[in-house]
Amino acid sequence: MSDEKTWPHQELGKKLSNWGRWGADDEIGTLNLVTPEKVAAAAKLARTGKRIDLGMSFDKNGPQDGGFRINPVHTMTWTPLDTAGLPDGMISADDMVVMGLQCATQWDALSHVGYGGFFYNGVPSTAVRPGAGATRNSFAAANGHLISRGVLLDLPAVKGVDRLPDSHEITSTDLEEAEAAHGVTVEPGDVLCLRTGWYQYFLEGDKTKFGRGPEPGPGLEVLQWFKDRDIAAIAIDNWAFERYPTVVEGSVIPVHQIAIRDLGLTIGEMFTFEDLAADCAADGVYEFLFTGTGLKISNSVGSPVSPIAIK
């Protein structure tokens, strides 16, 4: 008898797998669901032109407090002092930044998390190497696809609280309750924006709670719902994305594993939905044109992003 451990999430991953669905060479997974028709329909949701910022600022005051992801270090490489005295009076400035691509509002590429030696669509772990980076499933392949219909599900508002409780597991029932309360339905190709209220800890200056949990987020149960709805991408307003710590003993981020590796789902973290939630509560409209292309950095396993909702 084999004593090899059976991981419940990896069994689920086999059932939910999208490998091969868009071809053997596909590198963008569920972002294939953002078709030209979908984008054209989403553009019609920009009815008034009102823009709502969904991203954090990238600066030294960001959420990172040590470890391998650093807040942006911004350096001026050229300022008007360097151009002083040019005959025609021209002045100019240039700058550079060093930062973790996952240090604040960000997308995880399909090369970010896998298991069993593979990333999404059978890409071997050796495709991501020191020096070379992600030679397959890089964020650069996904970047242009992150414009679609956005839908906000404001979970704490529906439950009548400021923020979801510590370690609350977001279930399919939670999402369907929010759809009913908001009068909106999540459709194929959408970017689902999940508000937990957790970002308030960052606004209050509690970076430890914001960045280390115990965070609310999706658990394994809701992954079937993500697949059934054919969601293109999911963004959330906390760091972990998933319920953290997990209840899956011996695993760290099992929802990441199945969402990214098996579903081929692009997930976003540390989005800011406070202003969007207030706006949606005021006008009763929970759908919008979502624009969230990140940076086309070759061979990257994630990307910073400055997303905007347009109503």
27 near ligand UVW (CB under 6 A)? no
Find out whether 176 and 195 touch, Cβ atoms under 8 Å. no
Report the candidate in 237, 230, 260, 227 with the shortest Cα–Cα distance to residue 153. 237
Name which position in 27, 108, 190, 237 contacts ligand UVW (CB under 6 A): 108
CB-based contacts of 23, cutoff 8 Å, min separation 6: none
240 near ligand UVW (CB under 6 A)? yes
102 near ligand UVW (CB under 6 A)? yes
237 near ligand UVW (CB under 6 A)? no
Restricted to residues 248-267, the positions that interact with ligand UVW (CB under 6 A) are 253, 256
Q: Which is nearer to ligand UVW, 210 or 241 (CB)?
A: 241
Q: Which is nearer to ligand UVW, 189 or 213 (CB)?
A: 213
Tokens of 90: 């021209």
Instruction: Please name the residue ranges forming H helices in the chain.
Output: 8-16, 36-43, 80-83, 139-142, 155-159, 172-182, 199-203, 207-212, 223-229, 254-256, 274-283
Total chain residues near ligand UVW (CB under 6 A): 7
Q: Which is nearer to ligand UVW, 190 or 269 (CB)?
A: 269
Min CB(59)–ligand UVW separation in Å: 19
Residue closest to ligand UVW (Cβ)? 240
Find out whether 139 and 294 touch, Cβ atoms under 8 Å. yes
Find out whether 210 and 63 touch, Cβ atoms under 8 Å. yes
Q: Which is nearer to ligand UVW, 101 or 127 (CB)?
A: 101
Gap between the Cα atoms of 190 and 174, Å rounded: 18
Interaction site with ligand UVW (CB under 6 A) = 102, 108, 240-241, 253, 256, 269
